[in-house]
Amino acid sequence: MNILPTGYIYDAELRPVRDLLRRRLSLVHQRSALMISFKSLYTRTTGQAMSLSRLKGMEAGEAAALYEHPANQLIATIQKEHMEQLSQSIERVEKAVLKPARQLPCYNKLTTMPGVGKILGMTITLEVGEIGRFKGAGNFASYCRAVDSRRTSNQKNKGDNNRKCGNKYLAWAFVEAANFAKRYDERCRQWFDRKAARTSTVIATKALACKLAKAAWYLMSEQVAYDPERMFPRGFGRAAASQRKVLAKNPGD
């Protein structure tokens, strides 16, 4: 009777590629944990801090020379070797995923967005699948966990919110894109600063991630490149500031 909504069946050819990219995130977490452990051991032993750039450029032999005790030398050598092996595995995964991702029409469009590079472009492209399964930008942003989660009926709260409803990989991707966008894109930074001044940096980052998610839906559904004028129309910030000044002078309006 076409009453029940049907679930989305991911493409069987791309599903292993998507799962491979998800494994990359697990490898990155393991490497990050080793880096934190290595820096913590150095701080506890020497009382000094080690920069991340120094750690990445260090060889296994140099890591052992940092300590006098043989046990610490062995720990540092093993951790550094594991980090190098994980880095090599991560590079292999990226090369394997990048080739099929470039063949998809959405990848090149997504990489034109601020804050979206090679890794985030591949993640969004492979996690979305067919963009046509989302009716609008709001539905896609909700699937990306970029909106406030509520469970209401008849304007009444009917339980705890369902924050885990959606795709956690897309949620991570757009928050990462928002962090990069507010750092390197001028318009995103200005919009973020205005939002953070009214709320907080956490809420502003999530709001910018939602804005990027909606922009990504238009890019993928319309197959167009990123246009900053559509996302941040000229004069929008000035008009909003003028409106706030008028409301401040006339509270009754």
What are the boundaries of each domain within the chain? 12-103, 109-253
pTM of the model: 0.82
Give the confidence band of 154 by pLDDT, cuts at 50, 70, 90.
Answer: confident
Pairwise pLDDT comparison (195 vs 233), residue with the higher score? 195
Helix axes 168-184, 15-46, angle to 10 degrees: 60
- 188 CB-side CA count, 13 A: 24
Pairing of strands 152-153, 156-157: antiparallel
N-to-C CA span, the chain? 51
Position 9 confidence tier, pLDDT thresholds 50, 70, 90: confident
pLDDT-derived band at 190, boundaries 50, 70, 90 = very high
Q: Please name the helix (run of DSSP H) or strand (run of DSSP E) that holds residue 152, with its range, or none.
A: strand 152-153
pLDDT at 248 over 60: no
Write the DSSP symbol of residue 88.
Answer: H
Q: What is the mean pLDDT of the chain?
A: 88
| Cβ density class 183-212: b for 16+ within 10 Å, e for less | eebebbeebbeebbeeeeeeebbbbbbbbb
Across the range 114-127, mean pLDDT stands at: 94
